[in-house]
A and B are shown apart, each in its own frame.
Chain A
C-alpha cells in the first residue's frame, strides 16, 4: 500500500513537470505583461523597464523558469505581482472557498443521484425511469451560470430569502457564511445531479443484468435488500470513479459559478490573475489545480477497493 502510494506519487512527477513547463510557456505566450497592467496608459518606457527589472521579468525566460522551479522545490510559490501577497497562502485561502462548495455540492449530488439512478434502473422504462432520466438530462442541459442566475433571481431578488452576493468565511460567522453559499452549492448540486444520475442509472442497469442479482433473488432476498446490498455497492464503483473525475476538475475551477455568486474562490483568483497577468499567481494556481487533480484521483483510486474488492492497491 505504501509502496503503491510511493510509486503513484513518483509517476505524477513527469506529469507535473510537464504541467509546470506548459503553464510557464502558456503564461509567457499571453500577450501583455504585468508591468503594463500596473502602469496602465501612463507607461513611461524607462519606468516600465525599471519595474520589469525589479520583478525579474527582464531576464531570459529559461532563467526565469529555472528560478521559479528552484523556488518551487523549496515550497515557495513566490509573491503576487499585483498585491505582493505570498501566492501559496493566497491560493490556499481561496481554495477553501471552492473546496467547501465543491465537496458539499458533489456529496449532496451523489446522495441524491445514486439512489435516483438506482431506482430508475430498477424500474427501467417505467414512467418513473423516464421522468428521472428526463429530469437528469434537463439539469445537464442548463448552462450552470444561467441556472445560478435564475436561482439568484428567484431566491435572492424576488423572494429575498438569501443574500445575493458576497462571502464571509465560516470561521467568521457560520450562519452568514452558510447563507452566502447555499445558492452556489444548490446550483452546482443540480448540475452534478444531472451527470451523476445518468451514470448511476447506467451502472445500475449493468449490474441488474448480472446473474448474482438473480442469484440473490433466488435466495429469497427482498427487493430493497437486493438493491441496497447487491446492486448499490457494485453500481457505485463506476460512479465513484466519475465522482473522482468531477471532483478533480471542479476543485480546480468553478470559476463561472464563483463569478455568478461573487465568491472569492480559486477559479476566480485564476481568472482575475490571468487578466492581470499576475504570472506567479497564474502559474501557482494552475500548478496547484493540477496537483489537486492528481491527488484527488489518487485518493479515488485508493478508495476504490472499498467498493470493489477485486481491485487491490499493491
Chain B
C-alpha cells in the first residue's frame, strides 16, 4: 500500500533528503549502522560487551577466526601445526600484513600481544580460561623466527583455537605495541583489520574508516575471516538505545542497518517496501530449565512427562513465525556436529506422559515456572508449554519476572523451572559446558551428571572430529534421557537494511560484518 505522507512529514522528509544529499556531496560513502548502547572501550576483550565486540571486530584480528559454520579458520596465521602430544601449537604467519600505522606484522608483535593479554593487569576477559581452572595453561610463547609463533600449553585441549578466536575475547587480537603508552595504558587500537578507528564520540557514535593498506585473504568471506573487501569509506555506528527509534530511523532513511530486531518487529517491517530483511538462524538456545534438586522435579519421570506433553514443532511455529525450527538438542542447528542423532528429541506422547505421571505419583502439585517478557519468544513459549502440560494434568504456574530478577534466580539455581534463553556458544563443547556441571559448586548449571561431565571434559581435550562427534552423540542421548531441561529451538538473528545496501549477510554469530557491503 502506498503511504500518503502528511504535509509536515513530507516537508521533514524533503529537508532530510536535502541534508543527506549535502552530506554526501563529499563523495565519501557512508554506512550507518545502529548500536543499542555505546561501546565500553576500544580495548579488545577487556572492558567490553557485545556492542564493543562488534565494533572492535572491524579493527583488529587474531591468529585464527571463526568461519560461517563456527569451524576455525586461519586469519593472521596462514597455517598451524600441533606437536608435543597436542600441547604445542606452531603458527605460520601471513606475509606482509600491515598494521594501521604502516608497520609490518611480525612474530614479535604476536608474542608481545599475547603477553599483554596474559598479564593480569590487562584484565583480559579470557585470562581465566588459561588459568588452572580453565581449559589449559599457556606455559610458553616463543617466536623462533619472524614468521613463526609457538605456543605451548600444559595439557592438550580441543578448545584452544575456539577460545582464542572468541569474539568476546577480542579474538585474542594482534595489536601494535604503540596501541598502549609507555606506562602500559591503553590509547587506541592499532590493529590489522580492514577498518581503522576514526572517531569515538561518546554516547553518540563510533566511526571506523577504510584501511587502505589492508591486505585481504583470498578465500571468500566467511565468519570473521576470509576476504575482507571494504567497499565503503566509512562506517558509522550510531548509538540509538531505543529500538523503535532505530526502526523509525531505518524507515526514514537516516539509518542503513538495524541489527537484533524482535519477532514483532519482523511482522511490521516485512511489509515495508524500503526495507530488506536478513534472517539467519542464530546459536542462541531457548528452553525450559528444571531444577533437578527440587523435591518434586528430582523425579525424572515427571520431567519426562512434561517433555512428552509438549509439541515442540507447534510451539516453535507459533512463537517464531517460521524464522526458526524445532530442536531438542543442546547443539545448535547449523553446528557441524549437529547430525542425525541430534535430530532425535522428544515426540509428543500424551498417553506415555500420563502413565509416567501415575507412576511418579504426581497429583497435581503446582510447579512454578519463571518466565519473562523481555524476550517475547520466551514468554510465548512458556505460555504454550504451560497449556500443553495442562493437557496431561500437569499444573504449571507461571511467574513473570523481569530479566534481571530471573537471571539472579538462574545464577543461584533458585527455581523449580524456568523458561530461559542462552546466548550463542560457538563450539559444541561450550554448548554443553553452559549446561553441564556440578550444582554444588556451580548452582547455575542445569545438568548435574558426572558421566556427562566426564564426556564433556574429554570432548574439550581431544581434537579429533570423529571422536568428538561420538562423544557429543552420547552426551545428547544422556541429556535427552535425563531431561534436565527441554531445549525448544535456536533463535534467529533478524537484521533489517535499507534496500540500497547490498552484499550484507548474517551468520551464526549474531554480530554484523561490514566488509563486502556496498551502499548504492
**Complex contact flag A–B (Cβ < 8 Å):** yes
Residues 217-245 of A, flagged 1 when their CB comes within 8 A of B and 0 if not, give: 00000000000000000000000000000
Q: Do A173 and B15 touch (CB < 8 A)?
A: yes
Question: CA A33 – CA B326 in complex, angstroms?
Answer: 33
Max chain A C-beta neighbours (<10 A), residue from B3, B12, B123, B202: B12
B34 to chain A, nearest CB (A): 12
Q: Do B38 and A84 touch (CB < 8 A)?
A: yes
A137 CB within 8 Å of chain B: no
- Return chain A residues, CB-CB under 8 Å to B15: 173, 175-176
Question: CA A37 – CA B410 in complex, angstroms?
Answer: 11
Max chain A C-beta neighbours (<10 A), residue from B6, B15, B243: B6
Among A134-161, those with CB < 8 Å from B are 159-161
A214 CB within 8 Å of chain B: no
A150 to chain B, nearest CB (A): 18
Question: CA A166 – CA B16 in complex, angstroms?
Answer: 15
Q: Do A176 and B248 touch (CB < 8 A)?
A: no
The chain A residue sitting closest to B284, CB to CB, is A41
Q: Do A179 and B403 touch (CB < 8 A)?
A: no
Q: Do B242 and A84 touch (CB < 8 A)?
A: no
- Return chain B residues, CB-CB under 8 Å to A50: 123
We find that the number of chain B residues with CB closer than 8 angstroms to chain A is 50
Within 8 Å by CB of B410, from A41, A82, A85, A160, lies: A41
Question: CA A168 – CA B248 in complex, angstroms?
Answer: 10
Q: Do A85 and B244 touch (CB < 8 A)?
A: no
Residues 27-55 of A, flagged 1 when their CB comes within 8 A of B and 0 if not, give: 00011111011101111111100100000
Question: CA A33 – CA B406 in complex, angstroms?
Answer: 11
- Return chain B residues, CB-CB under 8 Å to A275: 374, 402-404
Q: Do A41 and B407 touch (CB < 8 A)?
A: yes
The chain A residue sitting closest to B249, CB to CB, is A166
Among B1-46, those with CB < 8 Å from A are 3-6, 8-9, 11-13, 15-16, 37-38, 40
Given A82-B37, A163-B9, A178-B8, residue A36 in contact with residue B247 (CB < 8 A): no
Q: Do A41 and B37 touch (CB < 8 A)?
A: no
Q: Do B245 and A165 touch (CB < 8 A)?
A: yes
- Return chain A residues, CB-CB under 8 Å to B243: 262
Q: Do B40 and A262 touch (CB < 8 A)?
A: no
Among B230-287, those with CB < 8 Å from A are 239, 241-245, 247-249, 251-252
A155 to chain B, nearest CB (A): 9
- Return chain A residues, CB-CB under 8 Å to B405: 30-32
Given contacts A31-B409, A37-B403, 17 further A-B contacts (CB under 8 A): A31-B404, A31-B405, A31-B408, A32-B407, A33-B408, A41-B444, A43-B407, A44-B128, A159-B4, A161-B4, A163-B248, A163-B252, A176-B11, A176-B12, A176-B15, A179-B12, A264-B241
Q: Do A175 and B408 touch (CB < 8 A)?
A: no
Q: Do A160 and B404 touch (CB < 8 A)?
A: no
Question: CA A249 – CA B444 in complex, angstroms?
Answer: 41
Residues 192-215 of B, flagged 1 when their CB comes within 8 A of A and 0 if not, give: 000000000011000000000000
Within 8 Å by CB of A262, from B4, B245, B374, B444, lies: B245
The chain B residue sitting closest to A180, CB to CB, is B248
- Return chain A residues, CB-CB under 8 Å to B421: 41
Q: Do B49 and A38 touch (CB < 8 A)?
A: yes
- Return chain A residues, CB-CB under 8 Å to B402: 32, 274-275
Question: CA A82 – CA B203 in complex, angstroms?
Answer: 11
Q: Do B245 and A167 touch (CB < 8 A)?
A: yes
Q: Do B9 and A162 touch (CB < 8 A)?
A: yes
Q: Do A36 and B12 touch (CB < 8 A)?
A: no
The chain B residue sitting closest to A167, CB to CB, is B245
A266 to chain B, nearest CB (A): 13
Question: Lowest 8 A-B CB distances belong to which pairs?
Answer: A166-B248, A262-B244, A176-B12, A32-B404, A32-B408, A83-B37, A83-B38, A165-B244
Residues 263-277 of A, flagged 1 when their CB comes within 8 A of B and 0 if not, give: 010001000101111
Given A175-B11, A275-B374, residue A83 in contact with residue B239 (CB < 8 A): yes
Chain B interface (Cβ < 8 Å from any Cβ of A): 3-6, 8-9, 11-13, 15-16, 37-38, 40, 49, 123, 125, 128, 133, 202-203, 239, 241-245, 247-249, 251-252, 374, 402-411, 420-423, 434, 442, 444
Within 8 Å by CB of B202, from A34, A85, A179, lies: A85
Interface size class of A (residues with CB under 8 A): 35 or more
- Return chain B residues, CB-CB under 8 Å to A277: 404
Q: Do B123 and A179 touch (CB < 8 A)?
A: no
Q: Do B407 and A36 touch (CB < 8 A)?
A: yes
The chain A residue sitting closest to B47, CB to CB, is A54
Residues 167-188 of A, flagged 1 when their CB comes within 8 A of B and 0 if not, give: 1100001011011100000000
The chain B residue sitting closest to A82, CB to CB, is B37
- Return chain A residues, CB-CB under 8 Å to B420: 41
Within 8 Å by CB of A43, from B40, B245, B409, B444, lies: B444
- Return chain A residues, CB-CB under 8 Å to B40: 83-84
The chain A residue sitting closest to B12, CB to CB, is A176
Question: CA A84 – CA B241 in complex, angstroms?
Answer: 13
Q: Do A47 and B12 touch (CB < 8 A)?
A: no
List, sorted by A's number, 26 A–B pairs whose CB atoms are closer than 8 Å.
Answer: A31-B408, A32-B402, A32-B407, A34-B404, A38-B49, A40-B423, A41-B407, A42-B434, A44-B128, A46-B133, A90-B203, A160-B4, A161-B4, A163-B248, A164-B248, A166-B248, A167-B245, A167-B248, A173-B15, A175-B8, A176-B12, A176-B13, A179-B12, A268-B242, A275-B374, A277-B404
Among A42-88, those with CB < 8 Å from B are 42-47, 50, 82-85
Q: Do A262 and B248 touch (CB < 8 A)?
A: yes
Within 8 Å by CB of B242, from A46, A173, A262, lies: A262
Q: Do A264 and B374 touch (CB < 8 A)?
A: no
Question: CA A36 – CA B402 in complex, angstroms?
Answer: 13
- Return chain B residues, CB-CB under 8 Å to A163: 9, 248, 252
- Return chain A residues, CB-CB under 8 Å to B410: 41
- Return chain B residues, CB-CB under 8 Å to A34: 404
B268 to chain A, nearest CB (A): 9
Q: Do B241 and A37 touch (CB < 8 A)?
A: no
Question: CA A42 – CA B437 in complex, angstroms?
Answer: 13
B368 to chain A, nearest CB (A): 15
Question: CA A148 – CA B77 in complex, angstroms?
Answer: 57
Among A1-50, those with CB < 8 Å from B are 30-34, 36-38, 40-47, 50
- Return chain A residues, CB-CB under 8 Å to B242: 167, 262, 264, 268
B390 to chain A, nearest CB (A): 28
- Return chain B residues, CB-CB under 8 Å to A45: 442
Q: Do A162 and B38 touch (CB < 8 A)?
A: no
A273 to chain B, nearest CB (A): 10
A272 to chain B, nearest CB (A): 8
A5 to chain B, nearest CB (A): 35
Question: CA A179 – CA B241 in complex, angstroms?
Answer: 21
Q: Do A43 and B247 touch (CB < 8 A)?
A: no
A98 to chain B, nearest CB (A): 13
- Return chain B residues, CB-CB under 8 Å to A272: 241
- Return chain B residues, CB-CB under 8 Å to A274: 402
